[in-house]
């Protein structure tokens, strides 16, 4: 039983060995350290965590890309139109080209994909604006987002995120629709398209 006045090293051992891994504790930095002699996992007395070695199986969420419209794009009335996402923020695997994301060789799996789309202030009461993902040239029914205008000359904003199980060479595109009765502009400043692969899923 621990007792008052007993040193902490009597209560808690400073080193424990399990096969080839040694765990040590200290009242100085590092507070806790696990090591096999080559790689180490440490926790300092300030709560900082450090690791020397390689993590396997965790994944790094790539391929990944982020793109925006290069300039405002005009949508005709009541027609699905592919958005021309031509300006890249990043593209880790050169998988985004010609306004579409294509799953690279050997990178099939589950992807988080999202988009944001905004119209200028032309939408009137009861009119709507829709965004939708197309996979391999066909519209999806589960990756759709829309917004309705409740007054005259409103700008509409939609945001959508989904999870898709994609195979190698599948490609994904972003389309938009509006029913203002005339043309409406999609605003480049508020329109983006992005995706990343979930690691170790």
3-state SS track over the chain: CCCCCCCHHHHCCCEEEECCEEEEECCCCCCEEEECCCCEEEECCCCCEEEECCCCCCCCCCCEEEEEECCCEEECCCCCEECCEEEEEEECCCCEECCEEECCCCCCEEEEEEEEEEECCCECCCCEEEEEEEECCEEEEEEEEEEECCCCCECCEEEEEEEEEECCCCEEEEEEEECCCCCEEECHHHCEEEEEECCCC
pLDDT of residue 88: 96
Q: What is the pLDDT of residues 143-191, one digit of tens each?
A: 888 888 999 989 899 999 999 999 999 999 999 999 989 999 999 999 9
Q: Which residue has the tokens 């009242």?
A: 27
Q: Which residue has the tokens 């202030």?
A: 121
Nearest alpha carbon to residue 157 among 140, 178, 182, 181? 178
pLDDT of residue 52: 67
Using omega within 30 degrees of 0 as the cis cutoff, is the peptide bond preceding 63 cis? Answer: yes
pLDDT: which is higher, 10 or 93: 93
Architecture, CATH, for domain 64-197:
Sandwich (2.60)
How many Å apart are CA 38 and CA 32, to the nearest integer? 16
Q: What is the pLDDT of residues 49-98, one digit of tens each?
A: 666 666 555 568 999 999 999 999 999 999 999 999 999 999 999 999 99
Confidence of residue 12 (pLDDT cuts 50, 70, 90): very low
Confidence of residue 200 (pLDDT cuts 50, 70, 90): confident
Residue ranges covered by each domain of the chain: 8-52, 64-197
Residue 107 half-sphere exposure toward CB, CA atoms < 13 A: 22
Neighbouring residues of 90: CB distance < 8 A, sequence distance ≥ 6: 64, 65, 66
Q: What is the pLDDT of residues 90-136, one digit of tens each?
A: 999 999 999 999 999 999 999 999 999 999 988 989 999 999 999 99
Average pLDDT on 7-24 reads 51
pLDDT: which is higher, 46 or 117: 117
pLDDT of residue 148: 83
Neighbours of 169 (CB within 10 A): 12
Q: pTM to 2 decimals?
A: 0.72
Instruction: Please answer whether residues 162 and 174 qualify as being in contact, where contact means their C-beta atoms are separated by less than 8 angstroms.
Output: no
Residues counted in the chain: 201
Task: Give percent of the chain with pLDDT exceeding 70.
Answer: 70
pLDDT of residue 146: 84
pLDDT: which is higher, 13 or 198: 198
């Amino acid at each position: 039983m621990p007792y008052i006045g007993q040193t902490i090293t009597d209560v808690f051992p400073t080193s424990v060995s399990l096969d080839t891994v040694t765990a040590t504790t200290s009242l100085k930095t590092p507070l806790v350290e696990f090591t096999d002699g080559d790689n180490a996992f440490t926790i300092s007395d300030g709560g900082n965590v450090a690791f020397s070695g390689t993590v396997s199986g965790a994944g790094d969420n790539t391929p990944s890309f982020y793109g925006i419209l290069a300039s405002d794009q005009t949508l005709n009335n009541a027609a699905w139109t592919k958005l021309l996402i031509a300006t890249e923020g990043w593209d880790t695997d050169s998988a985004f080209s010609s306004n579409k994301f294509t799953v690279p060789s050997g990178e099939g799996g589950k992807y988080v994909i999202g988009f944001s789309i905004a119209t200028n202030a032309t939408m009137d009461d009861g009119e709507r604006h829709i965004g939708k993902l197309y996979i391999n040239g066909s519209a999806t029914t589960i990756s759709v987002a829309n917004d309705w205008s409740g007054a005259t000359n409103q700008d509409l904003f939609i945001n959508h995120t989904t999870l898709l199980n994609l195979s190698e060479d599948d490609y994904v595109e972003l389309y938009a629709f509006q029913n203002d009765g005339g043309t409406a502009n999609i605003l480049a400043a508020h329109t983006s398209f992005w995706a990343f692969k979930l690691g170790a899923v």
